[in-house]
A and B are shown apart, each in its own frame.
Chain A
Amino acid sequence: MAGVWLNGTEMDALSASLPGSVVSLDASLEREFEQRLTDCPTLAYRVALGVLRNTAEAEDVAQEAMLRAYRNFHRLRDRERFRGWLVRTAWRLALDRIRAAGRRERRERAAMEEGCESRVENVAASWEFERHVARALDELPEKLRIVMVLAAIEGYNTREVANLLDIPEGTVKSRLFLARKQLAESLR
C-alpha cells in the first residue's frame, strides 16, 4: 500500500523540518504577534483617544483592535503594514463607538459641557483651550482629522503618517495644512 504510517512524534519532527509548514508558521506568527504587543497597543490607544477623548473607552477600543489584529494576523500579507492596519481598525472602531452612542449620549455630553462652561472661570485656561481644540477637531472632515491626530502622536512625521495610511506624503502634507488651517481659523 502506498504511503507511510507516522506517529505523533515522527510527524512533529517532520513538520519542524518542513519549510513553511503550518506548525512552524504558527509558532513564528505567535512570536511576531508578541513583538507587536510590545509597541503597537499604545499607537492604537492614542488613535482612539484622538477620537473618543476618554481613556477607558480608548483602552477598550485598543483592546478590541489588537484582538482583531490577532485574529487576522495570519492573513496580513505585509507584516510591515500591520501598524497601518491597526491604525485604521482603531480609528473605525472609535468612530463606530461614537456613532453607536447615539443622540441621547450626545445630548448628555452637551449638557455636561454646558455645566462645565458655567464653571469656566474656575477652570484652567489651558484645559479650556484644549476643550476648544477638541471641539474644533471633531468638526474636521474625517480625512483631515485622522492625519492631524496621527501627526500629533509623538514621533510620527509626515512620511510615517503616509506609510500608516498608505497615501502619498504630499497628500499628507496638504491635508495636514488644511486641517491646521481650519483649526487655527476656528480657534482664532
Chain B
Amino acid sequence: MICEKHSGRMADWTTDAALGRLRPTQEAELLAHAGECDACREAYRHAREVAAAVDRGVEALVSGELSPFFAARLRARVAAERVNPRSNWIVWAPVAAGVLAAGALLLIVMIRSPQQVTPSAALVAAPTIPSNPLGVAKTLHALVPARDSLQGAASASTRYAKGSRTSGTEILVPPGQLAAAIQLRDAVYRGHVDGEQLAAAETQIAKPLEVQPIEITPLESSDADSAGNEPTRF
C-alpha cells in the first residue's frame, strides 16, 4: 500500500522521527497522518526498527574486550622504552647544545681574558678594552665558577652515565642553579643525555690555553727630560 498524498515528504519524516530529530509540529502531523494511513504507519514502524538495528549493529562492531595479555605486553614495551628511550636525544639536544655553547663561550672569554697577561701589557696589547675594567673583572669572576661547575657536572655526569650513582660523587652547584643541576644529573642518570659527549665537551673546556707571547717595547722614561730637569711633583 502506498500513500499517494505524502509519499515523498512522509518518507523523510518517518526516518527523522525514528531518529528523534523531527520538529514537534512535523511529528504531530506525521503521527496524525499515520493514525489514518496504514502505509505511513508501517513505514514509521519500519524506520524505528531500522534505526534501532543500526545502533545495535554499530555497538556490536565496537564491543569487545582486550585480551588478558594486553596490559602485560604494554607494560613490557613501556619498560623497554624507559631503558632505551626513543629519540629522547632530540628533547635534550638543546640542553647539550647550551652546555657546549657555554663551553665555547668560556673558552673565548678565557683566551681574551686580561688576566692572562700583566696589567701593563694589557693596556698596551688591548687598547679597545672597555673603560670599566672593574666590570669586566666582575663578569669574569662570575663566569669562572660557572666553568668549574660545568666541569664538575660533566665529570660527574660521565660517572653517572657509566652506571654509578654513589653519594660520594659531588657536583658544584652555582647559586640559583640547583634545579638545572638536578635536571642535568637525572637526565644523564636516566640515559637521556650521553655522558660521553659531555665528557668530550669537558676536554674541550679543559684544553690548555695557548697564549701568544707579546713583545712589548719599553717606553721611554719620562722621569727626567733631556735637559736633566726633575719633573714637578705635587
Chain A: residues with CB nearer than 8 A to chain B?
Answer: 1-11, 14-15, 18, 21-23, 26, 33, 37, 41-42, 45-47, 49-50, 53, 55, 58-59, 62-63, 66-67, 70-71, 129-130, 132-134, 137, 148-149, 152-154, 177, 180-181, 183-185, 187-188
Contacts and interface: CB of A to CB of B under 8 A. Distances in A.
Nearest to A9: B167
B179 interface: yes
A62 B61 contact: no
Contact of A3 (B18, B50, B168, B173): B173
Interface in B112-140: none
30 contacts: A1-B148, A1-B172, A3-B175, A3-B177, A5-B172, A6-B181, A8-B165, A8-B166, A8-B168, A14-B178, A18-B182, A21-B182, A22-B183, A22-B187, A41-B66, A46-B62, A46-B63, A49-B64, A129-B53, A129-B57, A133-B61, A134-B57, A134-B61, A148-B58, A154-B63, A180-B19, A180-B55, A181-B16, A184-B51, A188-B47
B182 A180 contact: no
Given A2-B174, A18-B178, A183-B54, A46 B74 contact: no
Interface of B: 15-16, 18-19, 21, 46-47, 50-51, 53-55, 57-67, 70-71, 73-75, 77-78, 81, 86, 142, 145, 148-149, 152, 165-175, 177-179, 181-183, 185-187
B74 A63 contact: yes
A8 B149 CA distance: 15
Enumerate the 5 nearest inter-chain pairs by beta-carbon distance, A residue then B residue, closest first: A133-B57, A9-B167, A152-B58, A3-B174, A15-B182
B64 A2 contact: no
A130 B148 CA distance: 71
Contacts of A70: 78, 81
Contacts of A62: 66, 70
A184 B64 contact: no
Nearest to B48: A184
B18 A184 contact: yes
A5 B70 CA distance: 47
